Amino acid sequence: MNQQKQAGTIKIQKENSMLKQKQMLAEHFMALSQVRETGKKVVYTFVPGNLTELIYTFDMLPVYPEINALQSGMRKKSHDYIREAEDLGYSEDVCSYVKCDIGMMLQGNIGPTGQKLPDPDILLLSYTGCFVFMKWFENLKQLYPNAEIAMLHIPYQEAGRIEPDAVNYIKKQLLSEVIPVFEKVSGTSFEEKVLAKKMDLSAQAEDLLIEVFDSAQQKPSPIDAYFGGVYYIGPIFTAFRGSESCVDYYRELVKDVDYRIQNKLGPLTPDGYLEQEQYRLVVEGPPNWTHFRNFWKIFYDQGAVFVGSSYTRVGGVYDDGFRHSPDDPLRSLAEYCLGCYTNRNLPQRIDLLERFIRRYHADGFLVNSIKSCNSFSAGQLVMMRDLEERLQIPVGFIETDLVDPRYYSYSNIKNRLDSFFQMLDQRHTVRVTDDWLSDDVLA
């Protein structure tokens, strides 16, 4: 553990897991920059319903345009990229990830590490939980006419359950559309046992991931399941699921979290461990990336910790027991894709949020509504009111955008959050028992 006590407070360096994450990502981007020499093939694909295990089965490298877009947002490049796309005719109203990504490609496709990203050999359109993905890839196809296209349509869980026909449909698509393209481009034949082995490793990492998320039951919570969730809990999952190093990473992370629990430490923020947990919140919606640190600071300055978030479930929901499985791995991949957060219907999404609120003993529920993301935003107001009625819990609502800095207004957000925190304070004083929300119902 790279921390040392100094004058009664913990002085932060970085936790071991963070150092490992940094190294893993650097190696990944290095591998991407060397594909000319190594001959490795590159697959562009999306986070929700990603087929990372399958991609690695063919020894190819994944690139996630959404992650590039959010990285561009964090590196203050997204404004230029979005403008470039808007100059090309993309409306101000549409998903800013798409515009940021297309703008980045038009300006040379320089990735987060400053190295040029390789062009895709395959555009794997695993279209899960968002219609925009389909449009996004139709547009990418124009930019990369030589890339092979593999389309995987994931039906929506409209009735709140996984239909057997949907699973069969996905399996058939994998066998008839996706795997043949992977075989053709990689020159490698598909071996189910190789995939099964990776699925087993995924399941191990998933157990550990849930252990980390569940640590938010502790008071104080040792993790922030939103900002920390997207910063160091979730990313490795998407890029490396199915590998030994992914399992190692989560083992390391569990150790770091255990250390915080033992020392009654709050989550690690850019300004050190959170010292006084004031508010425990559950949040729905993606974060803002262009002002990530400033946004996070508004919360940790007030002692607000996110003990649960829906956004960290876009790449897969493991809270209700699902794990990637080596038995019939293609079926398992299908079920994984179908279960991603935004592929669940609105009542299911509300139930999951209720579960987080109860399980992690949250004091309040917050919606961060993203201007350009209909997949999340449409219906959030209904979700918010429903949870307020069901649980009699204070609810808050703020608006930002993912990577379009024009829609981040510090004063607006701050004003709304101040009122929300006041509501929470009032609630604290009238609350009779601390355990007013029990998690008995989860049994």
Partner 1 sequence: METWMPETYDDAITQSRALFEDLTYTYPREWKAKADTRRLIGYLPIYIPREIIHALDMLPVGLFGAGDRLPVVRGDAFFQSYICHLPRTVIELALNGNLDDFDGFIFPSICDVIRNLSGIFRMKMGDRYVRYLDFPQNFNPEVGGTYYRSELERLIDDLSKLNGVVLTNSALNKAIHLYNRNRNLLQRLDSIRVDRPHVVSATDFYLIRRAGQILEVEECNRFWQRVIDLADSIVREPEDKIRVVVSGSFCEQPPLGLIKTIENAGCYIVEDDFQLGLNWFRHELPADTDDPLGVLVDAYLNHSPASSAVYTTEEARGKALLSQVQEQKADGVIFCAPSFCDPALLDRPALEQSMDQNHIKHFSFQYHENLGQFHVIKEQAGTFADMVKLWE
Residues that bind ligand SF4 (CB under 6 A): 95, 97, 130, 132-133, 373-376, 402
> Which of residues 91, 262, 429, 433 is near partner 1 by CB under 8 A?
91
Q: Does 393 bind partner 1 (CB under 8 A)?
A: no
Cα 414 from chain centre: 24
For residue 400, with 0-12 CB atoms within 10 Å meaning exposed, 13-18 middle and 19 or more buried, which class applies?
buried
40 contact, one of partner 1, ligand SF4, none, CB 5-8 Å limit per kind: none
Contact pattern from residue 397 through residue 416 relative to partner 1, giving x for each residue in contact according to CB under 8 A and a dash for the rest: --x-----------------
Q: What is the smallest separation between the CB atom of 387 and partner 1, expressed in angstroms? A: 12
Region of 53-61, 162-170, 215-223, 225-233 interacting with partner 1 (CB under 8 A) = 162-170
d(CA 73, CA 78): 5
3-state class of 277 per DSSP? coil
Identify what 89 binds: ligand SF4, partner 1, none; CB under 5 to 8 Å per kind.
partner 1
Mapped onto helix, strand or coil, the DSSP state of residue 369 is strand
Q: Which tokens in the block code for residue 95? A: 């998903």
Cβ closest to ligand SF4, residue 97 vs residue 250: 97
Q: Is 27:61 a contact under the CB 8 Å cutoff?
A: no
Taking the least distance from each CB to ligand SF4, the nearer of 95 and 330 is 95
Q: Can you tell me the distance from the alpha carbon of 411 to that of 425, in angstroms, rounded to the nearest whole number?
A: 21
Kindly report the length of the chain: 443
The CA-atom distances, in angstroms, between 431 and each of 171, 425, 426 are 50, 10, 9
Judged by beta carbon distances under 5 to 8 A according to partner kind, the member of ligand SF4, partner 1, none in contact with residue 6 is: none
Q: Assign 404 to helix, strand or coil.
A: coil
C-alpha distances in angstroms, 364 versus 135, 280, 358, 417, 422? 36, 7, 11, 12, 11
Shortest Å distance, C-beta 333 to partner 1: 16
Separation between Cα atoms, residue 75 and residue 68, nearest integer Å: 10
Does the footprint of partner 1 cover residue 146 (CB under 8 A)? no
Give yes or no for residue 168 binding partner 1 (CB under 8 A): yes
Using CB distances below 5 to 8 A depending on partner kind, what does residue 97 bind out of partner 1, ligand SF4, none? ligand SF4
- Smallest separation, CB 143 to partner 1 (Å): 10
CB-nearer residue toward partner 1: 240 or 408: 408
Count of alpha carbons within 13 angstroms of residue 4, beta-carbon side: 3
Q: Is residue 156 at the binding interface for partner 1, with CB under 8 A as the rule?
A: yes
Q: State how far the Cα of 7 lies from the Cα of 349, in Å rounded to an integer.
A: 45
Contact residues for partner 1 (CB under 8 A)? Answer: 88-91, 93-95, 98, 127, 130-132, 134-136, 138-139, 141-142, 151, 153, 155-156, 158, 163, 165-166, 168-169, 172-173, 176-177, 345-347, 349, 369, 371-372, 374-375, 377-382, 386, 399
